[in-house]
A and B are shown apart, each in its own frame.
Chain A
């Protein structure tokens, strides 16, 4: 199968405390450590495993500026033979539909049987996969935690639904699946692996190459616009315990006792 995996570079949630920049227009980005969106990492691993079973190639694609190259290459090192960076000033400020429009153009430019995205990224919108499927007029399944391929015919997939039950479906290809964490155990990528893909040429495509008119994407095309970031007020009831580790521990013990938390 020919598989396209869409990945996004995001501030690494394990490495960063997010704070808001001076004018509220953006978060403080100066010292952020970036990595691939957690959900996308599982999507790449799944794609590589499918291609190992069925043959075919995995292509990693990202809508980003030049900074995106490192993440695309890291994901390629998991076992993808190709990468693609979609970069244009006109793409900046895209909303979900803008991003999906850019990715759809790239998808149409190749011949893929399957497109994987992460179930969601750092904005929690969980929208790009479903939009991409609709733009391509392909069937879609979200929050996928199982993919089984048959030599011929539809895929058998599992969706993780509320309460943790698994909804088994058959889905025809070509299709778009958004991948849930835990579907597999993503492989470790070492410096060696990254070095191996360093010589692979990474094509960069802009709006013109993709045949996208600039006013349909980016800030110009966005119907959903973030005005500012803010921190909601803390709930008044939250009492913060301070002091030395010893003092804190003593206070916790007292509180737990009072609440019946120690038996």
Chain B
């Protein structure tokens, strides 16, 4: 395949994001033998571009004050102007990629291939990938016609990060292409996530509760168990959305990243956004009434049970043991 491959290098505080090196791996898996061009956009990004040049043969630098904050609405028209027609562009499937990607594909006349978790080969202009549907309950083989190029978002964590190389790629300054860019959406400010009374990121034993708990009043069962264990309670997103617990208790890509030794997942299906916040390879014990729940693919120990039956018995046994 001779289409050009581009990789978007996200960065913060002057260093490149883990996702960038994961995209480098994904590019090789999807388009073996390709030599992707990295795109580094921002303001004052010389160091980032040089860092990217250790892992990519060529780096396009878009360095301009207007891009000090990565506003997808500004970047999209710029990329439409710069990217070679028919090229393959890889973005992370995170809140930045979701913002930029779908419209970029439309504007480029390219095929949009979202949330790729695995590569399954390239045959002519048919790109074969693996995706997940129904919150990870089933996987799907997906075939994409990429004759006119593609914009592909890669699920964070699905591909291992490439070794940060020692190659000395070439940095090409394309900043003047960004002169005069404008958008109908302007970045105003960033409001940092709040920290609550309990800092779940520091806890070693976490009892995490999900939608499977059913009702707010059932949360007492979880709190009693947690207390008996001497653990802290955290949760998946639906619990926060329902306002049953404070925001600071949410684990996941849009919540906190925790690194406990023991993680008890109660009535949590195991979406990648949730598990993306569970790091440090804890002992993961999952309780779910659905034997096919995706959480069992990440758990060390699984229990197929109804929380309503199990929790009171479990709490009582732990209390007796003291």
Contact = CB atoms under 8 A, between A and B. Distances in A.
A191 interface: no
A200 interface: no
A249 B134 contact: no
A130 B193 contact: no
A141 B95 CA distance: 10
B253 A162 contact: yes
Given A161-B254, A231-B139, 6 more contacts: A124-B133, A131-B105, A178-B98, A253-B314, A255-B283, A260-B204
10 contacts: A126-B115, A135-B106, A165-B191, A169-B71, A226-B140, A230-B138, A230-B140, A238-B300, A238-B301, A252-B285
Nearest to B261: A260
A181 interface: yes
Interface string A187-204: 000000000000000000
B145 interface: yes
Interface stretch (B34-42, B162-170, B171-179, B291-299): B291-299
Contact of B186 (A143, A170, A261): A170
Interface string A165-176: 111111110010
A225 B141 CA distance: 9
Nearest to A161: B95
Interface stretch (B23-31, B46-54, B58-66, B234-242): B234-242
A227 B283 CA distance: 36
B187 A241 contact: no
Contacts of A14: 211
Interface of B: 71-73, 93-96, 98-99, 101-107, 111-115, 131-135, 137-146, 183-193, 204-205, 211, 228-231, 237-238, 240-241, 243, 247, 250, 253-257, 261-262, 264, 269, 283, 285, 290, 292, 296-305, 309-310, 313-314, 317-318, 321
A7 interface: no
Contacts of B99: 130, 140-143, 159
B190 A168 contact: yes
A167 to B, nearest CB: 6
A261 B303 contact: no
Interface stretch (A16-24, A61-69, A81-89, A108-116): A16-24
**Which of B146, B185, B186, B204: most chain A Cβ within 10 A?**
B185
A238 to B, nearest CB: 5
A129 B100 CA distance: 11
A125 B139 CA distance: 13
A240 B187 CA distance: 48
B141 A262 contact: no
Contact of B135 (A13, A168, A259): A13
A234 B297 contact: yes
B318 A97 contact: no
Contact of B262 (A128, A140, A238, A259): A259
A241 B262 contact: no
Given A126-B115, A259-B262, A134 B241 contact: no
Nearest to B321: A253
A205 B210 CA distance: 40
A232 B297 contact: yes
Contacts of B102: 96, 100, 126-131, 134
B191 A131 contact: no
A171 B74 CA distance: 12
A97 B140 CA distance: 19
A240 B302 contact: yes
Contact of B138 (A128, A134, A225, A229): A229
A162 B254 contact: yes
Given A139-B73, A249-B310, A124 B230 contact: no
A160 interface: yes
A170 B189 CA distance: 10
B137 A142 contact: no
